[in-house]
Structure 1
Amino acid sequence: MKLGRTIQRIVLWCAVLAPGAALADFTILVGNDPADESGGSLGFLALPASLQDALGKKVIYKQTSNLTDVMRASRTQENDILVGPPHVTASAISHGYRLLARDTSNTHYVLVARKDVASLAQMAGKRLYLTQEDSARAYLAKGLLTDANINLKQFKQVAYGRTSGAGLLAVKMNLADVTVAEQAEAERWMKANPDVAVILKSTRPVPGGAAMMVRKGLPEADRKTVLKWLASNDAKLSGYGKLQPATEADEDQYRYIASLGILTPQAVQGATVVAATEVARLIASGVAVVDTRSQKEFDHEHIAGAIHAPYVERSLKERDFDQALDDYSAIAKLPKDKPLIFLCNGPECWKSYKASKIAAESGFKTVYWYRNGMPEWREKSMPTVGGTLAAAR
C-alpha cells in the first residue's frame, strides 16, 4: 500500500459525537508506523460502521502516524481500544491494556553495519542512522544498543530518517556506518549488495505487524463483541480481519519488547526516589506535586492539587541529555525553598527524570522523584481528577 494513500487517511472519524456531547461512549485510536515499509501497521482503512452497530454505542475513531502521541496514549488509558505496532503494544499491555488480537507474522530486527565495523564495541565514534524516533525500528534498535551497553552519545553522528530502506542506502553510500532494518529486508539487501555490510546484533522473534489492545476495565461483553466482529467480512475487507485472537505466548513476545524499553535510570543525584505510598504521605504533609507531562495528559487526569509545569523535551532520552535543547522555563518558575515531587508517565517517560535532575542541579532545596508516576498511581487506584473538571470548580 502506498504511503501517500495512508497519509490521506491519517485522521478518519467513522462516528462523531453529537453536538454538545461531552464524551464518546467508545474510543479507538490506531497508530500507523510510517517507517514500516512492509505495510504491517499501515494496512487499515477507516473502521466500518458495522463495529459501532455491533457495540450499540457511539464510537469516536482516530488514525494517526504521530507515534509520539500514540505512545503517550498507551500509558494514559484514555482510549477503549488501541491498535498499533509492536512497541506501542508492549507499552500498552504494561499500562492497563489487555492484548486482544494481533497480526500473526513474526520477524527479527537487526543492527546492520559496514564491514569495517567488525563488532559492537567498534560502533563508538561511528555514524548511526535510525528511522523516526518513535518508530518500532528505532525503539528496538535503541534497546539492542542499550543491551550492548552502548548509548547514542558514543556515536559521532545520529541521524533520523523516514525508512530503513533509506538507512541501508546510506550505509551503501558510506553516509552512515550503522542502521536498523527488519532481518529479511536486510538479508535481501545484503544479497543484492555483497561485501558491503554485516549483521551485528538481532532481536529475538517479535511480532511483525500491528496488534489490538483493549482496556482491562472494558466490559467482557464488549471485548467478545470486538473479537466476533474481527472475524466478520467487514473486518476482513477493511484490514482488521488479519488480526487473530491473541494467546499467552503472544504476550510473552511483547513482554520481551517491553524489556528492551528505553527506561530512565533508577536514581537522580540530589533527588530522593519515592513510590506511591510515600508520595501520598508527602502530599498529606503539604508537599506539592509537580506534573511535567503535556497539557493534554494533565487535562485528562492528574493527582489532585498537582502543579502543572510541562517539561518541553527535545533532547535524547539519555542519562547525559543535552539540557540546552530543552525548555525548562516552567521548572525555573517553581519555588526553590519548598520540597517538590516531580512525576510524569512512569519509567519509560523521561520528562520527570530530566526535570528532577535540573531542579537538583539548580539549587532546589528538596527534590523528590516519583519515577513510577501516573501509571502506578492509577494502578493503585489512588485519587485523581481531570484537569478540565478541576478548572471548572
Structure 2
Amino acid sequence: MGFTSWQAAWQRALVLGLGLVALPVLAQTRVNINPGDRIETDRVGVFNVWKGALETSLRKAGASAVQTRYSSDATADMNAGRANVYDLMVGPAPVIGSAVRYGYVPVVGSTQGARAVLVVPEGSAIADWARSKGQRLGLPGQDSVVTYLLRGEVQAGNTTLARQYPSIYQTRYQDALLTCLELRRCDVVAVEQAVAQQWVASGKKVRIVWQSREVPGLSVALHKDAGVPVEALRGALMAELAKLDAFGYTGTLTSKDFEYVSTLGYFTPRTLEGATLVEDPAVVESLLAGGARYIDARNEEEFSAGHVPGATLVPYVEKSAKDPGYDPKLDQFDVQRLGQNKAQPLVFGCNGPECWKSFKASRAALQAGYTKGYWFRTGVPAWRGSGRPLDRGGAKAG
C-alpha cells in the first residue's frame, strides 16, 4: 500500500474512531446583484445593502451557503438569466423582466418605480419629445432601463433611435451624461427620472421635457428550481429591508408587472439571408443526428451552466448594437474555429430570440464562405423547454 493509500486509510480510521460522520457538500445559492446604472458613486452602497439583506434572508429561508457576485453589465446579466446561471438575481427592470420569462419569480422590489426622461439645458429651445428629433442625444448603454423605455417609444412611432437622433453618444453610467450636456456635446440626454431630479435639486441648470411610462424599480427574482421557498425568502427579506429606513420595498410584485418592459428589448429578426431559420428543437436534434455541428455562441459561464449535448463553444463577443444594422467590426468571433470543411452543416444557437449572438455568428460564418448555416433562433431555452437534456461543464475544443 502506497503512502497516499495509507494516508486515506488513517483519515478514515480517525473519522470512525472519533465518531464523526462525513457530511455532504451542500450546493451554494448563486446570487447576482446589479445595482443599476444611475449614479456611479451610489452603486457600491446599493450593492452592500442588498448583499447583507439577501445573505441573511437566504440563510433564514433555508439556504446553507450563499455566493454573491457584483455586476455592472446588464447585457451579460440578461444572458445569464436566460441560461439560468444564477439562483437569484437583483437588477433593474430589463434584467428582471427578461429573467421572469425564463423560470424566475419576482420576490421583492423597490416601491420607487423607474421612468426614462429627456433632459435639456435650461435655455434650450427643445420643449418636448417631437422637438428633440434631429438633435444630438446622450444615452446610457443599450440594456439600461432608460434605453429600453426610450427605444420602445421610438419603435411605437415606427422609427429607430438612429433615425430619430443622427448623433448618439452612449456611456455606461447615467451621471456622466450631465457632463455631456454641460459641455454642449449633447443637446438632449435620456436618464432615469430620479437622476434628473437629483440634478435639479443640486442646482444644475437643466429641465425635463418628456417622461416615459413607469416600470418597476430595482427588484429581486428567484429561480423556481433554486431550492429556496419563495414565501419564506420574501418574508425574511422584507423584514431585513424594513430595518433600513432609507429604502422602501414591496413584496407584491408579480410577473405581470414586468410584461411591458420585457417586450421592449430588441428581438432578433425572423429571417437571415443565406441561412436556414430553425425554431423547433426536434429539427435541430435531427440535424445533429445527421452530422451537423452545433456551435454555441454564448460565453463559457453560460455554456458550463447548460448546453446542447455535443455542442462546441465558439463565443461571439458582442459589443455592437442589437440591431440589423450593427457594425461587426466592433465584435469578436473566431471563424477559424468553425473548421476547415465549409460544406459541413453548422447550427448556431444562443439564449433565445432576444440573444443576437447566434444571429451575428451565423452571418459571420456565411460571409466567411460556410455554405450550410442553420440559425437556431429559439436556442437553449427552447431546447430545455422541450424536455431535452442539457450537458453541463467545460467547453469542448473547437
TM-score of Structure 1 vs Structure 2, range by shorter chain: 0.7 to 0.9
Q: What amino acid does structure 2 have at the position aligned with 1:31?
A: N
In the alignment, the residues of structure 2 paired with residue 309 and residue 162 of structure 1 have an alpha-carbon distance, to the nearest angstrom, of 27
User: Which residue of structure 2 aligns with residue 130 of structure 1?
Assistant: 139
- Does 1:278 find its partner at 2:287? no
Shift of 1:116: 4.7
- Does 1:179 find its partner at 2:186? no
Report SS of the residue matched to 1:110: strand
User: Which residue of structure 2 aligns with residue 231 of structure 1?
Assistant: 238
Contact 1:48 1:238 in 2 (8 A): no
In the alignment, the residues of structure 2 paired with residue 123 and residue 371 of structure 1 have an alpha-carbon distance, to the nearest angstrom, of 34
Q: Which residue among 236, 248, 262 is the counterpart of 1:258? A: 262
Contact 2:132 2:188 in 1 (8 A): no
In the alignment, the residues of structure 1 paired with residue 336 and residue 246 of structure 2 have an alpha-carbon distance, to the nearest angstrom, of 44
User: Which residue of structure 2 aligns with residue 51 of structure 1?
Assistant: 58
- CA deviation map 1:174-231 (0-9, x unaligned): 211232123465478679778x76635x432211x21111112244x62222122123
Q: 1:105 to 1:331 in 2, by over 3 A?
A: farther
- Does 1:308 find its partner at 2:308? no
Contact 1:164 1:179 in 2 (8 A): no
Report SS of the residue matched to 1:106: coil
Q: 1:376 to 1:39 in 2, by over 3 A?
A: farther
Contact 2:118 2:188 in 1 (8 A): yes
> Which residues of structure 2 form unaligned runs of 5+?
1-23
- Does 1:89 find its partner at 2:96? yes
Shift of 1:92: 0.4
Q: What amino acid does structure 2 have at the position aligned with 1:282?
A: L
> Which residues of structure 1 form unaligned runs of 5+?
1-20
Shift of 1:341: 1.0
Q: What amino acid does structure 1 have at the position aligned with 2:113?
A: N
Q: 1:150 to 1:187 in 2, by over 3 A?
A: farther
User: Which residue of structure 2 aligns with residue 8 of structure 1?
Assistant: none
Shift of 1:240: 11
Report SS of the residue matched to 2:229: helix
- Does 1:159 find its partner at 2:169? yes
Structure 1's consecutive aligned runs of 4 or more residues displaced over 6 angstroms after TM superposition are 190-194, 238-241
- CA deviation map 1:267-308 (0-9, x unaligned): 111111111222122222222211111122112211011121
User: Which residue of structure 1 aligns with residue 5 of structure 2?
Assistant: none
Sequence identity of aligned pairs in percent? 31
Contact 2:39 2:175 in 1 (8 A): no
Shift of 1:382: 1.6
1:6-155 to structure 2, matched below 5 A, reads 24-36=27-39, 42=47, 43-46=49-52, 47-49=54-56, 51-55=58-62, 57-112=64-119, 115-116=125-126, 120=130, 123-124=133-134, 126-154=135-163, 155=165
- Does 1:210 find its partner at 2:218? yes
Q: 1:73 to 1:246 in 2, by over 3 A?
A: farther
1:194-205 to structure 2, matched below 5 A, reads 199-200=209-210, 202-205=211-214
**Considering only aligned residues, what root-mean-square deviation do their CA atoms show, in Å?**
3.3
Bigger drift between 254-263 and 176-185 goes to 176-185
Q: What amino acid does structure 1 have at the position aligned with 2:373?
A: V
Q: What amino acid does structure 2 have at the position aligned with 1:127?
A: R
Q: What amino acid does structure 2 have at the position aligned with 1:261?
A: G
TM-score, length basis structure 2: 0.79
In the alignment, the residues of structure 1 paired with residue 97 and residue 282 of structure 2 have an alpha-carbon distance, to the nearest angstrom, of 26
In the alignment, the residues of structure 1 paired with residue 118 and residue 159 of structure 2 have an alpha-carbon distance, to the nearest angstrom, of 13
Q: What amino acid does structure 1 have at the position aligned with 2:324?
A: R
